[in-house]
Amino acid sequence: MARPDTHRNPASEEVDLATLVTSLIKDLRFGAVEIIVHEGRVVQVERKEKYRFDKPR
């Protein structure tokens, strides 16, 4: 049985999503922010940060 959609305000979600993504990339030096979309709706946001170390000489 399909779950009915709840009433949402898309405009407020966009503002919240933009604020979230901005805050995730603000201090990110090396990495990625991935936005997961299902059926045209953002369902998840992931932040991956990389740390690389120089090889000893």
Write out pLDDT tens, residues 17-34: 889 999 999 999 999 999
What is the phi/psi pair of residue 56, to 5°? -65, 140
* Band (3; pLDDT cuts 50, 70, 90): low
CA–CA distance, 25 with 32 (Å, rounded to integer): 8
The model carries a pTM of 0.61
In terms of C-beta distances under 8 Å and separation of at least 24 residues, what long-range contacts does 27-36 make, across chains too? none
